[in-house]
A and B are shown apart, each in its own frame.
Chain A
Amino acid sequence: MDIIDKVKQLISIMNENDLSEIEIHEDVAKIRIKKSEIGYTPTISPSAVSSIPHPSKPQQVLPPQVLVKETENLAEIVSPMVGTFYRANAPGADPCVNVGDIVNEETVVCIIEAMKIMNEVKAETTGEIVDIYVNDGEAVEFGQSLFRVRPSQK
């Protein structure tokens, strides 16, 4: 079953059972769909344990009937420097954060390395990680978006 069929099936299950949110974890991906007033917010991310880059970007596999809730006021965590993005403090270690994690201002979300200069990036906001834009080991630029965060209600 490809990922589009899987998302369709999950939406059916949500509708049949009147669920507002569903999340499944598989070997290579994690899918999370949340129903809101205007539609669904799907999030598909590489599994926490997989270091293999995801072969396709989530936006490219979304079925047309699934709406990404772009109107929601989401925050972004951006790279403070040019370098290489690492999701974990060390190879083989668990990622600092995963989609669905709640972070606060002091939560370390990733490491950016440039010529042996390691920079722990902190969330500097409070909320839930809803998207991770960059794969482990990828090069990033200054100011590039790394994570999308749904800020906590105050």
Chain B
Amino acid sequence: MGSIISTKNKINNYSQHLKKFINVPERLISEEITKDLKTKVVGNTIVTYESTTSTMDIAKKLAHTGFKNGTVIFAEEQTHGKGRSDHLWYCPKHKGLLFTLLLKHNMHPDHLCLLTGTIAVSITETIRETLHLPAEIKWPNDILIDGKKAGGVLVELEKGLKKQTIFLIGIGINVNVVENELPKQTRLPATSLAIENKEFIDRISLARALLQNVDKWYTILRDEHFRYITERWKEFCITIGKKLTITDCGKEYTGKVIDISNNGGLMLRLDSGQIKIFRGEHTTVKSISSNNRSY
């Protein structure tokens, strides 16, 4: 695998670099990503789009066809990139890794929640191991570096042919975005891998490394080695040790997070001293106490 860091592009001089970057945009090329890709399932087919509403939209249509399991759809630009709700995901053209992975998998409902964690672990581990940046997970799906959001995961379920369950795993990572291109007024402060790395990054090598890591962790999930996933999730999860307020079934609870449960839920020591486990499926993090680092 080639170097992930694109050494010719130093980020120190923004204006000079921007000019160079706009004039010679580095493109994601399917064949380049596929070359030397060592995976069992993920990336069996790779398709890249120059611009689309959302790779999720394409994936949904594809899910109803005889697509190859592990198909990945990249887009250089999404005009309606999805986050849940009002948090639309925006990333300038040619500067992110925005893709949807389609997986056929009949998963037991109890383990469904580990899927988000599995993918979050894959992204975080890839950033740590290839770029040596201190990436962390904000439970359950945000990828942060130094408290700023660099990426995230969103999964949709679709019934494909013969009612087969298809997971559409949407991943968005800010890779070569510079400071003045970051979206303003976001829920969390934003950043990019290049800003944190102080160098631009070869997106093709990063994409390849990421797909390989997703493949590795997905295999662990498929083989039901759930403890490996929760242990790694805990290791990367910045939410553990934080005092926060969560909403669960319409009620609010405030306490300190002491653990992640085996199926991805949160274990809190409430202010009353009581220890309570919240199922991930019904839990929303409402706010982080002000005596924590803001993130």
Contacts and interface: CB of A to CB of B under 8 A. Distances in A.
Nearest to B153: A116
Nearest to B282: A139
Among A90, A115, A120, chain B packs the most CB atoms within 10 A around the CB of A115
B86 interface: yes
Interface string A128-144: 00000000011100100
B250 interface: yes
Question: Interface extent on B, as a size class?
Answer: 20 to 34
B86 A91 contact: yes
A116 B140 contact: yes
Interface in A42-63: none
Interface in B232-279: 248-250, 264, 279
A115 B157 contact: no
B141 A118 contact: no
Contacts of B157: 80-81, 117-120
A90 B86 CA distance: 7
A18 to B, nearest CB: 44
A8 B250 CA distance: 33
Interface in A69-91: 80-84, 90-91
Contacts, number: 69
Contacts of B281: 81-84, 114-115, 139
B218 to A, nearest CB: 15
A49 B86 CA distance: 17
B287 to A, nearest CB: 17
A116 B86 contact: no
A154 B84 CA distance: 38
B116 A84 contact: no
A92 interface: yes
B109 A142 contact: yes
Contacts of B284: 84
B156 A117 contact: yes
B85 A114 contact: no
B154 interface: yes
5 contacts: A90-B85, A117-B113, A117-B157, A117-B167, A118-B154
Interface of A: 80-84, 90-92, 113-120, 122, 137-139, 142
